[in-house]
Amino acid sequence: MLTEKSVGGIIFFEENNKRKYLLLEYERINDQKGQHKYWDFPKGHVEKDEKETDTLFREIKEETGLEDVNLILGFKEKLKYFFKKDSKLISKEVIYYLLKSNTKEVKISFEHKGFKWIDYEEALKQIEFKSSRDMLKKAENFIKSSLMNYE
């Protein structure tokens, strides 16, 4: 069985005591639902001999243009699932980290159709995949339960 490993970032921005999460609009092609768009977090494949956090910051910069982000220590969640690609079963692992952005200025890459900063409740409605919604819930609970100082 083939395996893939990716790293993703759950990115938030705070302004006027309100927390907004960054979602990117993806266009899925050739699946059972046909071609349609969906919202999810930035993520990408780990390159050979690359550390997870190096992948994280590289992918965030490539997909969003964001560089002024801070990694929130203590949050690291793994997601494992299977999917088919070219009739082959693939085992995929995605490691999610939590980050605070110090800017809202996003420049999406060619591989995305759009982006939005939205509050937690709206993000839960926009995210299609249950596994991604569960990651967002874990991130929100982590933020609420932590007396973090990430300045």
Domains and CATH numbers, the chain: 2-145 (3.90.79.10)
Half-sphere exposure of 26 (CA within 13 A, CB side): 16
Q: In angstroms, rounded to a whole number, what is the distance separating the alpha carbons of residues 36 and 3?
A: 25
pLDDT of residue 31: 59
151: confidence class by pLDDT, cuts 50, 70, 90? very low
pLDDT tens, position by position, 4-35: 999 999 999 999 989 999 999 998 755 566 66
Q: In angstroms, rounded to a whole number, what is the distance separating the alpha carbons of residues 74 and 81?
A: 23
Tell me if residue 27 falls in helix, strand or coil: strand
Q: In angstroms, rounded to a whole number, what is the distance separating the alpha carbons of residues 30 and 102?
A: 37
Q: Which helix (H) or strand (E) holds 25?
A: strand 18-31
> What angle is formed at CA 52 by the lines to CA 72 and CA 22, rounded to 5 degrees?
50
Exposed e or buried b per residue across 13-36, where buried means at least 16 C-beta atoms within 10 angstroms of its C-beta: beeeeeebbbbbebeeeeeeeeee
Residues facing residue 11 across a β-bridge: 99
Q: In angstroms, rounded to a whole number, what is the distance separating the alpha carbons of residues 79 and 70?
A: 22
Q: In angstroms, rounded to a whole number, what is the distance separating the alpha carbons of residues 18 and 32?
A: 38
pLDDT of residue 33: 60
pTM: 0.89
pLDDT tens, position by position, 99-109: 999 999 999 88
Q: Which two tokens stand for residue 133?
A: 């919604």
pLDDT tens, position by position, 51-83: 999 999 999 999 999 999 999 999 999 999 888
